[in-house]
Amino acid sequence: MSTTGITSEKDRANAPNTGLEGIVVARTELSDVDGQAGVLTVCGYDIEELAHNATYEEVVHLLWHRVLPTANELQVLQERLISYRRLPEETQIACAAAARRMGPMDALQFIVGSLIVDDPDPEDESYDLNLMRAEKLVARVPVIVAMYHRLRSGQPIVEPREDCSIAANFLYQLTGAEPPVGEVKGLNTYLVTVADHGMNASTFSARVIASTASDMYSAVTGALGALKGSLHGGAPGPALEMIEEIGEPERAEAWMREAVASGKRLMGFGHRVYKVRDPRAEVLYEAAVALADETGEQEALALAREVERAGVQVLAESKPGRNLNTNVEFYTALLLRELGLPQDLFTPTFAIGRTAGWTAHVLEHQKSGRLIRPQSEYVGPRGLRYTPVLER
């Protein structure tokens, strides 16, 4: 019998070579992705409800505790997160080394691994201590990204502030200037929107590591490794390159038709789960509109809208039934560029938001989960006999 439950040659022939599609690997209270209806639920709330109303810190509390915080609980959480912003000396040294030698995602993975240095008891896997580790990670990942960028750019480090939100402090540390209210709101919306998204590749990686009774830092470091890939968190940059290459709304449809005809992949379109428009795309589109209304950058938005329209139309004609719509990366690219972020910081900024979800999944799995150990179906040869090396 096959180890995957496929019991006949016919079953084997019809078995798709897919990445656990349709297989439930965990029960969770954190988020649910309904790809047919285009609905993302986070702890009971539609993502639009949270993105339009909540701060990132509120969503962090929601993911960790399953309820939105009271005013007092939110203040306590904010104070704790602020208290953890200053990085250990060893982590600052790691950040300086990474800025000289590494790209952003390699650097982030390397530096986050160093955060265990000031852990009070690395062997203690109690819930309370893991919650403290989660708080440190959420507080420090934005500081790491900003410090790394300043160092690699040859600019002086900007110390974190103690009087502003995660979104505002990140923008402040990146630029050294007071961020405009509209930019803070736009980034906050983005962080909320990407905080958690079902059993995606990086979250699954984090849960697998957590299921081995490994530590929180290792789980998040592993998640960063998965996020680095272009099929997961690495797509917003290429989506922006595509929009910029098209350049003018009038060129969009012809460019799309030529790209599809030549087999080129359209970045920012299609999703492994969603068969309709990604609900996060709508949220981020609205955030980009609001920011453009404040900055006056309407041309880029008009271009993106036409690229989206043309892309959806051309894909519907050339790949009928595939339902290839815009995904979260499409308007992520536009919004983050409007915020002034360099393209290679798009994925690290995604990681800032998703750290909330990763740590929540680790907490959930360590509390009630078991070792994740899937099986595989062997399709190689059997019965081979060893031949001495000189006879091969």
Domain presence at residue 244: yes
Q: From the candidates 329, 338, 361, 365, which is the catalytic residue?
A: 329
| 365 given a catalytic annotation | no
Please check whether residues 156 and 188 belong to one and the same domain. yes
Instruction: Give the global pTM.
Output: 0.88
- Contact present, 325 and 270 (Cβ < 8 Å): yes
Please check whether residues 294 and 352 belong to one and the same domain. no
Q: Looking at residue 31, what is its pLDDT?
A: 96
Mean pLDDT by 10 residues, the chain (392 residues): 37 55 86 89 96 97 98 98 97 98 97 96 94 98 98 97 97 97 96 95 96 96 93 72 89 92 84 78 89 82 88 88 80 88 94 98 90 90 96 93
10 Å CB burial of residue 359 (0-12, 13-18, 19+) is buried
- Could you give the CA distance from residue 71 to residue 277 in angstroms, rounded to a whole number? 35
Please check whether residues 318 and 216 belong to one and the same domain. no
Domain presence at residue 308: yes
Please check whether residues 146 and 204 belong to one and the same domain. yes
Domain presence at residue 6: no
Please check whether residues 114 and 244 belong to one and the same domain. no
> Residue 53 carries which side chain, given as an amino acid letter?
N
DSSP per-residue codes, 268-289: TB--SS-SS--HHHHHHHHHHH
Please check whether residues 79 and 180 belong to one and the same domain. yes
Domain presence at residue 153: yes
Q: Looking at residue 234, what is its pLDDT?
A: 62
Q: Looking at residue 56, what is its pLDDT?
A: 98
Please check whether residues 129 and 177 belong to one and the same domain. yes
DSSP assignment, residue 117? G
| 329 given a catalytic annotation | yes
> Residue 283 carries which side chain, given as an amino acid letter?
V
Please check whether residues 246 and 214 belong to one and the same domain. no
Q: What is the CATH number of the domain that holds 73?
A: 1.10.580.10
- Could you give the CA distance from residue 190 to residue 329 in angstroms, rounded to a whole number? 11
DSSP assignment, residue 87? P
* Structural domain harbouring 334: 236-338
Gyration radius of the chain's alpha carbons: 22
Q: Looking at residue 16, what is its pLDDT?
A: 52
Domain presence at residue 296: yes
Burial 321-357, CB ≥16 within 10 A → b, else e: eebbbbbbbbbbbbbbbbbebebebbbbbbbbbbbbb
Domain presence at residue 269: yes
Q: Looking at residue 236, what is its pLDDT?
A: 65
- Could you give the CA distance from residue 40 to residue 369 in angstroms, rounded to a whole number? 23
- Contact present, 139 and 112 (Cβ < 8 Å): no
Please check whether residues 308 and 187 belong to one and the same domain. no
Domain presence at residue 13: no
Q: From the candidates 61, 149, 197, 271, which is the catalytic residue?
A: 271
Please check whether residues 217 and 175 belong to one and the same domain. yes
Please check whether residues 212 and 295 belong to one and the same domain. no
* Domain boundary, last residue among 338, 354, 384: 338
Domain presence at residue 378: no
